[in-house]
Amino acid sequence: MHMKRTLLLFFSCMISSALFAQGLSVISMDRTGDKLLLSFRTIDNALINVSKDGQLLSYGMENLQRQNLHWIFPPQLDPYMGRIENYSDIDDVNFRGKVKYIGQTMVTYYASYDKEELRGKIKTLGTTDFVYYESYSDKAFAGNIQRAGNTNFTYYSSFDNEAMKGKFKTIAGTGLSYYSSFDDKAIKGRIKNIGSENFTYYTSFDRKGYQGAQKSGFLTKYMGNIRYQVFP
């Protein structure tokens, strides 16, 4: 009986780890939040970089040593040396030539018979399903990811300040705020807060060469199970 309970616990942990491994793992952005990558980790420990409108941009293995030496956005991934399979020419027109498998992780896309605004966007990464804001949503974020697995996303709307429109407002419950267009010209539109973490910058009144440079705030930090990276 004890052995059965031990085996059951082991397999439960394995399943939980596999499901967790396919979720959102890393968020990389520049200081304005305009350039942003959502990185999903596969069960083979590869990263799949996805744009906020659901396009698969790149994939590979993380190299933190190189990143720490060359802190440049977007972070460069090493090639993934495992199984890579693409959809063939006989598959749906919105799949053809796109990545089908990265290791054990299957990628599916919305097909030609789906709603027009969804066609070609990622539908699933392994066990993670993607839902999008549809065309009737606010124009500032229509077509963007609304949910990926258990992770929800909200955005600033077309009614918000010009410097914030269409940018992420919350990711997995973590709030993001930005300096508005009414703030100093050297800092307007830049990240002000991620969760409880504050970001400050040198303004246009500071010494030339420092203007707009970051004074406080992190480069990389875990919030929950997600690692945030803010690039210069």
pLDDT tens, 136-161?
999 999 999 999 999 999 999 999 99
Q: What is the 3-state secondary structure (H, E, C) of the chain?
A: CHHHHHHHHHHHHHHHHHHHHCCEEEEEEECCCCCEEEEEECCCCCEEEECCCCCEEEEEECCHHHHHHCCCCCCCCECCCCCEEECCCCCCCCCCCCEEEECCEEEEECCCCCCCCCCCCEEEECCEEEEECCCCCCCCCCCCEEEECCEEEEECCCCCCCCCCCCEEEECCEEEEECCCCCCCCCCCCEEEECCEECEECCCCCCCCCCCCEEECCCEEEECCEEEEEEC
pLDDT tens string 39-95: 999 999 999 999 999 999 999 999 999 998 899 999 999 999 999 999 999 999 999
pTM for this entry = 0.87
**pLDDT value for 9:** 37
Q: What percent of the chain clears pLDDT 90, i.e. is strictly above it?
A: 87
pLDDT for res 148: 98
User: Structure tokens of 210?
Assistant: 């420092």
- The pLDDT assigned to 22 comes to 65
